Structure 1
Amino acid sequence: MAESEFKHAPSVSFDEIDYRNEVDLKKAQESMLKEQFVKIEVVKIVRKALENCFKVNGPNGYEDCREIADKYMALLPESRAQGYLGYQRNDPTK
């Protein structure tokens, strides 16, 4: 299957749904969880690349791997899985 043929799951937001419709609520919850898991996997990949860079460069790793380390540090604050309940309960539109 070519990359252009890959279909992404539709993104559903809590802002667009009626909380009384259980099907839409479940889709929004799953969409939010999928987004969080993708962010976590991206951080894992960058961390693995940083580890490999340090292994390859040895003592010069601090200088040679700086760009990867900066990217990793930038991704850390937003990589935590928080679930959907906090957002769902405090949704400002409802």
Structure 2
Amino acid sequence: MTEGRPKFQHAPEVSFDEIDYRNPQDLKAAQESMLKEQFVRVEMVKMVRKALETCFKVNGPNGYEECRNLADKYMDMLPDYRAQGYLGYQRNDPTK
């Protein structure tokens, strides 16, 4: 690593299963961790969609055959990779 460049600090991954709900710092850390994970997943879907758009532009009329693998990957990602927030999970947590 070169001098002068700050080292990237990864945020700790915190699960709602591991926290004490009475501690506001733990609750906030779990919420932020879940939101960051969801934002990463949303960005992954955006990248696949952008690659699919580019593939269709490059291949023109043959895009349906040439870009089939990207289209399948995009369609598989859509249901699971959307941002849902943390409230639904937090409210339905059986350990509460």
TM-score, scaled to structure 2: 0.89
Q: CA deviation at 1:80?
A: 1.7
How much identity, in percent, do the aligned residues show?
Answer: 79
Pairwise CA RMSD: 1.5
What letter is aligned with 2:91? R
- The match for 1:75 is 77
Q: State how far apart, in whole Å, the 2-side matches of 1:76 and 1:18 are.
A: 33
Question: Any unmatched runs of 5+ in structure 2?
Answer: none
Find 1:87's aligned residue among 73, 86, 89.
89
Point out the structure with the larger helix share: 1
What letter is aligned with 1:56? V
Question: Could you list the per-position Cα deviations for residues 11-53 of structure 1 after superposition, in whole angstroms to 9, with x for gaps in the alignment?
Answer: 1000000000000000000000001111100000000000000
Q: CA deviation at 1:8?
A: 2.6
**Runs of 4+, deviation exceeding 6 Å:** none
Find 1:13's aligned residue among 15, 34, 43.
15
What letter is aligned with 2:68? R
Q: State how far apart, in whole Å, the 1-side matches of 2:71 and 2:85 are.
A: 27
Q: State how far apart, in whole Å, the 2-side matches of 1:52 and 1:35 are.
A: 26
* Residue-pair matches, total: 92
Secondary structure at the aligned position of 2:77 is classed as helix
Q: CA deviation at 1:7?
A: 4.3
What letter is aligned with 1:71? K
